[in-house]
Amino acid sequence: MFYFVSKIVWFFLTPSNALLTLALVGVALAWTRFDTFGWRLTAGALVGLFAAGLLPFGNALMYPLEERFPAFVDDGLPVAGVVVLGGTFDTEATNVHGQMALNETGERLVALGELARRYPEAKIVYAGGGSEFTPDTTPEATLVENTVGQLGIAPGRILYERKSLNTYQNALYAKEVAKPRAGERWLVVTSAFHMPRTMGVFRAVGFEVRAYPVDYRTAGASSMLRPFAFLSEGLRRTDIAAKEWIGLGAYYASGRTGALFPGP
């Protein structure tokens, strides 16, 4: 029941779905005594869809998220371990074909391979059980374990966290698996736009980490002035960024982070 309710709530909070819903409601009202309001609502929603899809609105939402934590610079100091957050797999396609089927956050897996080779003595933890919006039957960490050999890494090189369903649980359960010691330096790998919320929850559970952002979607401040060539591309960017801002607010309100917009 929880998964069903979660899907419905997020469906109506997603900007593209919300605008389309408003347009359909407007069409329905247009056949009632509220016809003038209905047509205006439809027109406004359609203008909003085109604006969110073609204007750089999504980039404007995404840019401050991505730039909150700077890119990691290797200063030569030892790294005790690395936590890579899940969300990188198309789970159904991976199960069916038996090989990595990565989604648009696949750079996290690229970073896993790179960091495992750069720091051969470091612990590597992959944190990924499933999704609070989808009742997955196979933990994502298990999919990584089954296919990580394709990156040239032995499955035994990585520790796997399989219970988490969201970012807060990623941090909580990764700490149990990693068992970090005082004074150790750990890195956390996730998409740049997801890093503020990630750092907030790791701090909240008492797991001190350094940010290692990957998977950048914008090309700096200039992206905020660059329109999209395809409506679907702009809407997707807007939806992802809006979800992250909503997540930041929800996590702060629920006490899962100590700051509304965690920073360095």
Sequence-ordered alpha helix ranges (H) in 83-166:
91-97, 107-118, 140-147
The arithmetic mean of pLDDT across residues 125-154, rounded, is 77
Higher-confidence position of 133 and 254: 254
Domain coordinates in residue numbering, the chain:
2-66+228-253, 81-214
Q: In this predicted model, what pLDDT tens digit does every residue of 85-98 receive, in sequence order?
A: 998 877 777 767 77
SS3 state of residue 101: coil
Angle of the 231-253 helix axis to the 195-204 helix axis, nearest 10: 20
Average pLDDT of every residue of the chain: 90
Q: In this predicted model, what pLDDT tens digit does every residue of 44-65 receive, in sequence order?
A: 999 999 999 999 999 999 999 9
- Rounded-to-10 torsion of CA 77, 78, 83, 88: 70
- Measured between alpha carbons, how far apart are the two ends of the chain, in Å? 38
Taking residue 162's Cβ as centre, other Cβ atoms within 10 Å add up to 19
Name residues whose C-beta falls within 8 Å of residue 113's C-beta, 6 or more positions apart in sequence.
Answer: 151, 152, 153
Confidence (pLDDT) at 87: 85
Name the band, by pLDDT with cuts 50, 70 and 90, for residue 7. Answer: low
Among the listed ranges 39-43, 95-99, 184-188, which one has the minimum average pLDDT value?
95-99
**In Å, what is the CA distance from 166 to each residue of 2, 86, 148, 251?**
14, 9, 22, 11
pLDDT over threshold 80, residue 221? yes
Confidence (pLDDT) at 29: 94
Taking residue 93's Cβ as centre, other Cβ atoms within 10 Å add up to 14
Confidence (pLDDT) at 129: 80
pLDDT over threshold 80, residue 135? no
The whole-model pTM stands at: 0.89
Q: 81-214 has which fold? A: Rossmann fold (3.40.50)
pLDDT over threshold 60, residue 1? no
Among the listed ranges 12-26, 90-104, 245-259, which one has the minimum average pLDDT value?
90-104
Phi first, then psi: what are they for 213, rounded to 5°?
-75, 140
pLDDT over threshold 70, residue 187? yes
CA triple 243-173-7, angle to 5 deg: 30
